[in-house]
Structure 1
Amino acid sequence: MLSHSLQYVVFVIAVFALYWAVHRHYWPRMLLLLAASLLVYVSFLGVPLIAFVGGMPPGELVVKLVPLFIFLAGVTVDHLLVKGMGATERPGLRKALVVLSIVSNLGLLAGFKYLELLRRTVSSLLGPWGVEVRPEPFHLLLPVGLSFFVFQAISYTVDVYRGKASSEHSFVEHLLYMLFFPRVLSGPIVRASELMAHFREVPTLSSDDGNKALFRIAVGLVKKLVIADVLGSGIVDPVFGSPHAYSSAECAVAAVAYTLELYYDFSGYSDIAIGVASLFGFKFPENFARPYLAKNLFEFWNRWHMSLSSWLRDYLYIPLGGNRRSKPRVCFNLMMVMVLGGLWHGADWRFAVWGAVHGVALCGVRCWWWFKGKQQEPGPARVAIGMLATFTLVVLTRVVFRAPDMAHAGEFYARMLAGIPGLANVGPLVWSMLAIAVLAHTLPMKLYDTAALVFLKMPAPARAVVLVLLGLGIRQLSTLETRPYVYLQF
């Protein structure tokens, strides 16, 4: 049940009506949200609602629900460990419990997501030496949303250990924190203090907050269905599918288009998640802040997928020593964070290569600052050069994200650098959407705030007309098929 589908819209409306009918009562609203979240999650497992009333053989239903059972087992273990930390003040025991939680969660991630990568790697390294390694794949399933689940699970248990989150939450609250349907699969990664701590508060929703949420959802739908999907189907998919059939200029345009598609796809998802959460009285953290306007790579990572970047900073970079160690150690920490952050996106060494390139670039920026000193207010020329260099690096490394393997990425790079002119395959709609994407990304935020304010001031019938016209326009411009979110593959 993709959040940009009509099915999801109807689902949210139904849950919204029931939720606000019982919102003053703790257990009814909690159980409603938990049931809704479970339904959204199992929909991604290919389990239709009718399956629970006899529409699917029990054996087949159990097999499809295995990822949910794995997830429930992980939450149960974490909940018991959290309760254990809350029941003792012995530092050694608390540390042992939090380490056990981290190891168990990373064990799930390593076992289901990376074991096959390890098998292939060991086989390729030892095979030429005559060492026999299991030739058959493990064929392990990858539970949907496992990467986000693991990161959220670790953030909760570590925050309890650090005293930044309470251990007094019930199992239902813990389960809902992990499964809350607006962001169940792709974030934002929400800390316990940002969501769990508010479960016992009676929610409120003013008319202004509701209208802001609807405006945010509308913006997210436009980003996804109009800009991202048109760029994806119009230039990115065909060129990356057969780069040898296109000119160098068209490959370069496709690389830029994919960079923009990825941003509008994922930020659109985040906008919808933030807006839907607001409709239920919850505030999610922002996930993007116009990252392609960053003046350097550090600023880019402070603006891109901010909930992931802040997680890597707080739970990996700082525990490794952060900026507090020697200069070589700082560079080592940066490399470790970027390589592991790259592998988090997928069980393929090309993601580690992507992370390593970003790590080397970040170390280069850091070394330059150490050598020359970091300018607090660089001039316009330095700002323009910094923005161009940062965006160019991001575009070039995005090719690795989009290509199915390093060989295909190498073919794409070679074609892009071959110097073959021609843009005949870039149509007017793609050019228009590229222009809209760039313009929307560079407009001052005040214009968005003004548009939201105008929407809020409209009479209710006028707002309804605007939303209907927006829906019709999206249907006219977007592709006929529903394209899944790009970031779901990570």
Structure 2
Amino acid sequence: MPNMQPYANPMYFMVLVIMLLPLMIALARGVRLKVYETIVSAAFIFLMFTGAKWQEGIALIAYCIWQVVIVLVYQRERQQHNRTGAFYAAVILAIAPLAIVKLTPVFSYHPSLLGFLGISYLTFKSVQVVMELRDGTIKAIRVWPFLRFLLFMPTISSGPIDRYRRFEKDYENVPDHNDYVDMVASGIHYMFLGFLYKFILGYFFGTVLLPQVAQAAMSQKMAMGGTGISWALVGYMYCYSMYLFFDFAGYSLFAVSISYLMGIRTPQNFNKPFLAGNIKDFWNRWHMSLSFWFRDFVFMRVTFYIMKHRLIKKRVHISQVAYLINFLIMGFWHGVTWYYIVYGLFHACAIIINDMWLRKKKKSHLPSNRWTKALAIGITFNVVCLSFLIFSGFLDTLWFH
């Protein structure tokens, strides 16, 4: 059997599209084959966890039961009492499996038995639902729609992170014929663009070029006696940044493509991030579903909490603290290692400095033209690439191994 991990090879797409054809034909006629879609989705999710990954499949089942119980119990609690303590408990319990998976490598050489492919993205969805139940933007949750949202097959492994209300609206409102034809055309376009990104450009930068540049950086380090910054290390920084973008953006395009074929407008994850004019603009373009999730469910809530309890007087200091907390959590989410944590703090500091600069620029009436905009893009690009060098963990290998 060919590798049936999501979007691993062209054979996966061939089999998947063939299986989706009946669903696509029905959608073109204004009908969603819900039972057939469920069967196909379940089959492909099952194939993700066959063979050596069967334990991850068991963990996924246990995880879903856990999250369903938390959501239903909290929903009932909110309807009857709406206590703040119950809300915090529900959020902590929803995050607990992911926290255990992330922290286990710190204390053990063996990965957690609770881990499975996609646990982070399912956790983002679960916590989102709990928080929106608290806010009242989600009035009620039923088991099957919640599981359908949680286990949406195209995005289960690595996102993009959709929103429950937006997803349900797409699912229940089948597009008309012309809209669906446009969605299929867009889906095919995204699929071929994903092939270019992931299997050609991502392969070139990550598999062909990156090992050579890494070896050159290691050799130059030895020649320089372990001191100084080599040109090969700078080359590694740019090469890894290109690989990271094309590989992940290609993967995200595949998820969006298959979603469109299934009649669901899953949001895009990338919007020309290397053309960002500042670091805040970058986070409005890079891994957007994640950055917007952190903005809405971490940054804004931390800001509101500080303001409500009057912990900090100056608004500018409130946002600075919120940025630090937001990106520190994001760093820990990637992993409990120094370079992920430093990566998060690096971006928090970059945004704080950027905000200070924008305030100064506004007061000073500095010039703004195509040359200053090009300079801003160039500076942002290099700052981001430096952060990706930290994120890659290569400095850990270079300095400490």
Q: Same fold (TM over 0.5)?
A: yes
Is 1:282 aligned with 2:264?
yes
Note closer, same or farther for the CA distance 1:138–1:276 as it changes in structure 2 (3 Å cut).
closer
Q: Which runs of 5+ in 2 are unaligned?
A: 222-229, 308-312
Q: Do the aligned residues in 2 keep the contact of 1:78 with 1:101 (CA within 8 Å)?
A: yes
Q: 2:381 aligns with which of 385, 391, 394?
A: 391
Higher relative contact order (CA closer than 8 Å, sequence separation 6+) = 1
Residue 189 of structure 1 and its aligned partner are, at CA, apart by: 0.5
Equivalent of residue 188 in structure 2, options 206, 210, 214: 214
Q: Give the secondary-structure state (helix, strand or coil) at the position aligned to 2:172.
A: coil
Once residues 301 and 53 of structure 2 are traced to their aligned partners in structure 1, the CA distance between those partners, rounded to angstroms, is 42
Query: Residue by residue, what CA displacement relative to the aligned partner does 1:380-421 show, whole Å, maximum 9, x if unpaired?
Result: 3322222122111111121122225x5325479xxxxxxxxx
**Alpha-carbon distance in structure 2 between the residues aligned to 1:203 and 1:403:** 45
| 1:204 and 1:281 in contact (8 A); partners too | no
> Residue 383 and residue 25 in structure 1: after superposition, are their counterparts in 2 closer, same or farther (change >3 A)?
closer
Corresponding letter in the other structure for 2:292: S
Q: How does 1:110-129 map to 2 (within 5 A)?
A: 110-117=99-106, 119=107
Name the TM-score, length of structure 1 as normaliser.
Answer: 0.70
Q: Which runs of 5 or more structure 1 residues have no equivalent in the other structure?
A: 49-59, 120-135, 413-490
Within the alignment, does 1:196 sit opposite 2:168 as a pair?
yes
In the TM superposition, 1:87-98 aligns within 5 A as: 88=79, 90-92=81-83, 95-98=84-87
Task: Tell me what 1:73 maps to.
Answer: 65
Whether contact under 8 Å (2:71, 2:90) holds in the other structure is: no
Structure 1 position 230 matched with structure 2 position 212: no
Out of 4, 7, 18, the residue aligned to residue 22 of structure 2 is 18
* 1:84–1:97 Cα contact (<8 Å) kept: no
SS of corresponding position for 1:286: coil
Q: Deviations over 1:237-273 (max 9, x none)?
A: 3333663235833332232121111111111112111
Q: Measure, in 2, the Cα distance between the counterparts of 1:61 and 1:268.
A: 24
Q: Pick closer, same or farther for the CA change 1:209–1:377 going to 2, 3 Å.
A: farther
The alpha carbon displacement at 1:99 in A equals 2.6
Task: Give 1:341 deviation, angstroms.
Answer: 0.8
Q: Structure 1 CA distance, aligned partners of 2:111 and 2:17?
A: 39
Q: Paired residue for 2:13? A: 9
User: Aligned partners of 2:53, 2:156: CA distance in 1, in Å?
Assistant: 21
How do 1:367-382 and structure 2 match up within 5 A? Answer: 367-373=356-362, 378-382=368-372
Report how many residues are paired: 377
How far apart, in 1, do the equivalents of 2:370 and 2:381 lie?
16
Give the 3-state SS of the residue equivalent to 2:138 in structure 1: coil
**Within the alignment, does 1:180 sit opposite 2:184 as a pair?**
no
Give, in angstroms, the shift of residue 137 of structure 1: 4.2
% identity of equivalent residues: 21
Against the structure 1 CA distance between its residues 96 and 4, is the aligned structure 2 distance closer, same or farther, given a 3 Å change threshold? same
Deviation per CA, 1:23-50, whole angstroms, max 9, x where unpaired?
A: 6898x833333333333334333x05xx
Cα shift at 1:278: 0.9
Q: Evaluate the alpha carbon distance shift between residue 90 and residue 241 of structure 1 in structure 2; reply closer, same or farther with a 3 A threshold.
A: farther
Q: Distance in 2 between matches of 1:30 and 1:372?
A: 54
Superposed displacement of residue 82, structure 1: 5.5
Corresponding residue of 1:308: 290
